[in-house]
């Protein structure tokens, strides 16, 4: 097979983006942006340029067509085509989803709950009793960008509301279905955003949702009453501070609508009784800068997780009758080794998400006894997620977990005894043999001496003489913890001798809030140096060499990619940057763009501060491209992406092309049909994954079908 490097030079001439100097000035600093013009999506020259880039990529990747087709076939063969989720109970029904062979999306269903036959949970619905709530394949109608934004069932179980999007943006339409007649109602509510669930009032006709402003920030809570014109939806709550966005949800007891207005550092919660949906929201505790809290109701008490007095959080309770701060009683104190997260409550117990010494899990709190029980996944190196458990009077909490080598399992834990039952272990992919692989955990040493965990998925016979190949993944932002998970697609790399490494760098939340804060704002460059330390560690320990090391990052992980490539391009053979946030300075100087104002607590506000301006300018990938040899880079963008605008990767590629002194390929692909998440279908998404894997394998000299 011919590789990209073997093509004649004349076949490698890429499109050239014209330079049109655009003057910029802030804080007395003046500079020009030669590719600012690419922001104008109404200019036909912009789309023509991006289409030329796509054509160039297609031509250069042409020799890898057979490999890409093989990769798609392999990944498709690993999909469990027919599968059913573990049903959850809500009232008299069990709700679940089914995957159908050959279909991209799930079919959402329900069947009757049979309390005298608990074994029926995982059995097919008796003939004639299954009700299809929604076939997402019908809703998608072939649209690659179709996104299902969640759904909610009315309290009487007669009406089904859901959010959907067809263009890849974060703006959704709310639709309704009468489950008794099967009719999809004609009324459509436009302008809902992804954040926040759809929440019904107890009257069964009023539904709450969040609406976006001109920057798509979730800033309003509105209520729509079925039968009324959607345009007449009432404004329930409005957040005027542009750093904050709002989310909504109901407490498990269904007593309250919870409106949470939050920035990255501060939250404030307001409540509306769901049996009195016309009441005005009542603030639980007035906001204080830097103080975050979340709450749940258990019996006649509120339980709260807050960072007040403890960076990783502590837990309080206070009675319904007195929410004043001086009435709070501490239930669980702060602990440097424990980071508390979300909180939920049943009638008898409180469940608190947490990470303990970096391990994900949750605590079960018995308020009457004052005891706690720690629950986590069995074994080491797992992801764990709480699963939807909506029944307030339930005695069990659902959770799921998976590892690099074990597909996800769904389990439940008895709240009183702590007994864990595995409800379902997802089947392994056809032909999968875990003995062919091994998992390792190692630690890189950051420049300040901090140990940075690295999880590795490797072939069982992976060498340690530096001849191996590794794909190093990283994110490190927003306090999001990234743990090992089962990804059947990645075995197409590992089976070809390419190991996968996951770097748990600072800026993420793997070790709590302190881990996050060590990689944000004025400490952001720590994220980059942590990742570089991980790359150097893999080389020093003989896992790979610069000729065998590739990197991958998406979104904020794409910012990581751009910063690292500017600092240490010599460490990598190739890099994949997916919807990369690389034009950081320009984006953070433009408050009219989606997300910008809400990101001030993450990166800083360069318009308000010369210090912040200089700090961001010093690492912003686009602003720091220089004449140097860059490795092979594949960059992916979405035309309808309203989180990382298409022009960020486009401008970055154009500037690297102009300054790159090396000969490695630099490729850009813009998906004109999708947004930030790419194609949403489980089959249609495989083409994009295969493109990335083929690019990596080719650069590593392993591009054999």
pLDDT, tens digit, 9 for 90 and up, residues 511-536 = 999 999 999 999 999 999 999 999 99
* Burial label, 498 (beta-carbon count in 10 A; 0-12, 13-18, 19+): buried
21: how many CB neighbours lie within 10 A of its CB? 12
Domain-located, residue 565:
yes
Tokens 């690019």 sit on residue: 695
Q: Inform me whether the pLDDT recorded for 2 exceeds 50.
A: no
- Strands 574-578 and 632-638, sheet pairing: parallel
Q: Tell me: the pLDDT tens digits for 438-451?
A: 999 999 999 999 99
CA angle centred on 444, ends 464 and 454, rounded to 5°: 75
Beta-carbon count within 10 A of 254 CB: 16
CB atoms within 10 A of CB 679: 22
Domain finish residue from 402, 428, 454: 428
Give the integer Cα–Cα distance in Å for 302 and 295: 7
Q: Which of 555, 620, 680, 684 is catalytic?
A: 555
The predicted-structure confidence for 415-425, as pLDDT tens digits, reads as follows: 999 999 999 99
d(CA 667, CA 62): 13
Q: Does the residue 9 lie in any domain? A: no
What CA–CA distances, in Å, run from 492 to 498, 553, 686? 9, 18, 12
Both 447 and 321 in one domain: the answer is no
Q: Is residue 145 part of a domain?
A: yes
pLDDT digits (tens, 9 = 90+) for 553-586: 999 999 999 999 999 999 999 999 999 999 999 9
pLDDT (0 to 100) of residue 12:
61
Q: Is 232 a catalytic residue?
A: no
Mean pLDDT of 66-83: 96
For residues 392 and 503, membership in a common domain is answered with no
Of 279, 313, 335, the residue at which a domain comes to its end is: 279
Q: How far is CA 31 from CA 354, 658, 693, in A?
A: 46, 17, 38
Domain extent for 344:
292-428
Q: What share of the chain has pLDDT > 90, as a percent?
A: 92
- pLDDT of the residue at 13: 81
Measured distance CA(700)–CA(705) in Å, rounded: 14
Whether the CA torsion 655, 657, 660, 665 is positive or negative: it is positive
The single residue of 394, 669, 676, 684 carrying the catalytic annotation is 676
**What CATH number is associated with residue 366?**
2.130.10.120
Confidence of residue 1 (pLDDT cuts 50, 70, 90): very low
Tens digits of per-residue pLDDT, 449-507?
999 999 999 999 999 999 999 999 999 999 999 999 999 999 999 999 999 999 999 99
Active site residue 555: yes
Work out how many domains the chain is built from and give that number. 3
Q: What is the pLDDT of residue 194?
A: 86
Cα–Cα distance for residue pair 128/232, rounded to 1 Å: 39
Beta pairing class for 382-386 and 396-403: antiparallel
Count of other CB atoms within 10 angstroms of residue 8: 6
User: For residues 607 and 585, what is the distance between their CA atoms, to the nearest angstrom?
Assistant: 10
Average predicted confidence (pLDDT) for the chain:
95
Is the pLDDT score of 11 beyond 80? no
Please tell me whether residues 510 and 568 are part of one structural domain. yes
Rounded to 5 degrees, what angle do the CA atoms 650, 654, 658 make? 170
412 and 497 fall within a common domain: no
User: pLDDT tens digit string along 19-67?
Assistant: 999 999 999 999 999 999 999 999 999 999 999 999 999 999 999 999 9
Positive or negative, the CA dihedral 288, 290, 295, 300 is negative
The CA-CA-CA angle for residues 143, 102, 165, to 5°, reads 25
Residues 109 and 182 in one domain: yes
pLDDT tens profile 295-343: 999 999 999 999 999 999 999 999 999 989 999 999 999 999 999 999 9
Residue 396: band (very low, low, confident or very high) from pLDDT cuts 50, 70, 90: very high
pLDDT of amino acid 116: 84
Question: Do residues 424 and 437 both lie within one domain?
Answer: no
Report whether 67 contacts 694 (CB < 8 A): yes
Whether 144 shows a pLDDT value over 90: the answer reads no
pLDDT tens column, 153-209: 999 999 999 999 999 898 999 999 999 999 999 999 999 998 889 999 999 999 999
Of 385, 403, 428, at which residue does a domain stop?
Answer: 428
- Let me know if residue 185 belongs to a domain: yes
Q: Give the model's confidence band at 698: pLDDT under 50 very low, under 70 low, under 90 confident, else very high.
A: very high
Across the range 599-624, mean pLDDT stands at: 98
Average pLDDT over residues 629-654: 96
- Following DSSP, what letter does each residue of 425-440 receive, concatenated? EPPPPTT--GGGEEEE
Q: Supply the pLDDT for residue 350.
A: 98
Q: Is residue 356 domain-resident?
A: yes
Q: How high is the pLDDT of residue 703?
A: 87
Residue 329 covered by a domain: yes
Residue 268 forms part of a structural domain: no
Task: Look at phi and psi of residue 216 and say left if phi exceeds 0, alpha if psi is from -120 to 50, else beta.
Answer: left
Q: Does the structure show a pLDDT above 70 at 10? A: no
pLDDT above 80 (res 236): yes
Residues 451 and 312 reside in one and the same domain: no
Determine the straight-line distance between the first and last CA of the chain, rounded to whole angstroms. 8
Q: What strands, in cross-sheet order, belong to the sheet with 350-356?
A: 338-345, 350-356, 359-366, 371-376
The predicted pLDDT at position 552 comes to 98
How many angstroms separate the CA atoms of 392 and 348, rounded?
9
Q: Are residues 497 and 379 in the same domain?
A: no
Same domain, 453 and 360: no
In the predicted model, is pLDDT for residue 8 greater than 80? no
- Structural tokens at position 453: 């965990």
Q: Are residues 359 and 446 in the same domain?
A: no
Q: Where does the pLDDT of residue 680 fall: very low under 50, low under 70, confident under 90, or very high at 90 and above?
A: confident
Q: Confirm whether 248 is domain-assigned.
A: yes
Q: Is 20 a catalytic residue?
A: no
Q: Where residue 609 sits, what CATH number does that domain have? A: 3.40.50.1820
DSSP secondary structure letter of residue 563: H
**How far is Cα 478 from Cα 556, in angstroms, rounded to an integer?**
9
CB 399 within 8 A of CB 374: no
pTM of the predicted protein model: 0.95
* Nearest by Cα to 531 from 440, 600, 450: 450
Catalytic residue among 489, 530, 641, 698: 641
- Residue 441 and residue 418 in one domain: no
Q: Are 519 and 512 in contact (CB under 8 A)?
A: no
- For residues 195 and 121, membership in a common domain is answered with yes
**How is 158-173 classified by DSSP, letter by letter?**
-EEEEEEESSSSSEEE
DSSP 380: S
């Amino acid at each position: 097979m011919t590789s990209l490097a073997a093509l004649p030079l004349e076949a490698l001439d890429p499109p050239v983006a014209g330079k049109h100097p655009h003057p910029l000035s802030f804080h007395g600093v003046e500079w020009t942006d030669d590719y600012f013009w690419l922001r104008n999506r109404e200019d036909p020259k912009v789309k023509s340029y991006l289409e030329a880039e796509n054509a160039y990529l297609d031509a250069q990747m042409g020799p890898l067509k057979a490999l890409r087709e093989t990769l798609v076939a392999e990944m498709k063969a690993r999909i469990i085509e027919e599968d059913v989720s573990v049903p959850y109970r809500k009232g008299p029904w069990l709700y679940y989803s089914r995957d159908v062979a050959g279909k991209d999306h799930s079919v959402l269903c329900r069947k009757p709950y049979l309390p005298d036959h608990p074994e029926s949970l995982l059995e097919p619905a008796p003939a004639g009793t299954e009700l299809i709530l929604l076939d997402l394949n019908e809703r998608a109608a072939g649209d690659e960008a179709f996104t299902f934004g969640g759904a909610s069932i009315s309290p009487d179980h007669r009406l089904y509301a859901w959010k959907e999007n067809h263009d890849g943006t974060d703006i959704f339409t709310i639709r309704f279905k009468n489950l008794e007649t099967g009719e999809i109602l004609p009324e459509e509510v436009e302008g809902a955003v992804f954040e926040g669930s759809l929440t019904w009032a107890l009257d069964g006709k009023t539904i709450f949702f969040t609406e976006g402003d001109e920057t798509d920030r979730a800033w309003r809570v509105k209520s729509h009453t079925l039968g009324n014109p959607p345009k007449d939806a009432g404004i329930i709550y409005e957040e005027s501070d542009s750093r904050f966005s709002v989310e909504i949800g109901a407490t498990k007891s269904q007593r309250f609508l919870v409106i949470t207005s939050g920035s990255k550092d501060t939250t404030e919660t307001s409540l509306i009784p769901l049996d009195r949906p016309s009441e005005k929201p009542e603030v639980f505790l007035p906001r204080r800068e830097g103080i975050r809290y979340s709450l749940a109701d258990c019996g006649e008490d509120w339980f709260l997780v807050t960072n007040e007095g403890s960076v990783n959080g502590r837990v309080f309770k206070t009675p319904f009758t007195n929410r004043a701060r001086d009435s709070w009683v501490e239930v669980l104190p702060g602990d440097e080794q424990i980071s508390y997260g979300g909180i939920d409550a049943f009638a008898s117990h409180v469940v608190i998400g947490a990470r303990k010494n970096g391990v994900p899990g949750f605590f079960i709190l018995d308020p009457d006894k004052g005891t706690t029980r720690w629950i986590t996944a069995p074994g080491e190196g797992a992801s764990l997620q709480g699963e939807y458990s909506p029944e307030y009077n339930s005695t069990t909490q659902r959770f799921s977990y998976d590892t690099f080598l074990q597909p996800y399992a769904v389990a439940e834990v008895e709240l009183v005894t702590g007994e864990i039952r595995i409800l379902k272990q997802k089947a392994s992919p056809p032909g999968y043999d875990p003995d062919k692989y091994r998992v390792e955990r190692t630690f890189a040493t950051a420049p300040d001496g901090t140990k940075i965990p690295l999880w590795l998925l490797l072939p069982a016979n992976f060498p340690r003489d530096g001849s191996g190949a590794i794909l190093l993944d990283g994110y490190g932002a927003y306090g999001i913890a990234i743990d090992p998970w089962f990804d059947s697609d990645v075995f197409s790399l590992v089976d070809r001798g390419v190991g996968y490494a996951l770097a748990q760098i600072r800026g993420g939340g793997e070790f709590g809030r302190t881990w996050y804060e060590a990689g944000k704002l004025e400490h952001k460059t720590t994220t980059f140096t942590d990742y570089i330390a991980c790359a150097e560690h893999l080389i020093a320990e003989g896992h790979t060499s610069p000729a065998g090391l590739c990197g991958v990052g998406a979104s904020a992980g794409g910012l990581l990619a751009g910063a690292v490539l500017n600092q240490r391009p010599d460490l990598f053979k190739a890099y994949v940057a997916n919807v990369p946030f690389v034009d950081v300075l320009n984006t953070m100087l433009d408050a009219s763009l989606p997300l910008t104002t809400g990101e001030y607590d993450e990166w800083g506000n360069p318009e308000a501060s010369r210090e912040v301006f200089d700090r961001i300018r010093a690492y912003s990938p686009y602003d720091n491209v220089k004449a140097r040899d860059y490795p092979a880079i594949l960059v992916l963008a979405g035309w309808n992406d309203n989180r990382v605008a298409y022009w960020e990767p486009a401008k970055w590629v154009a500037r690297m092309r102009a300054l790159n002194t090396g000969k490695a390929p630099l490729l850009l692909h813009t998906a004109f049909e999708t947004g930030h998440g790419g194609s949403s279908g489980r089959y249609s998404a495989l083409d994009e994954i295969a493109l990335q894997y083929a690019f990596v394998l080719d650069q590593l000299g392993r591009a054999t079908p």
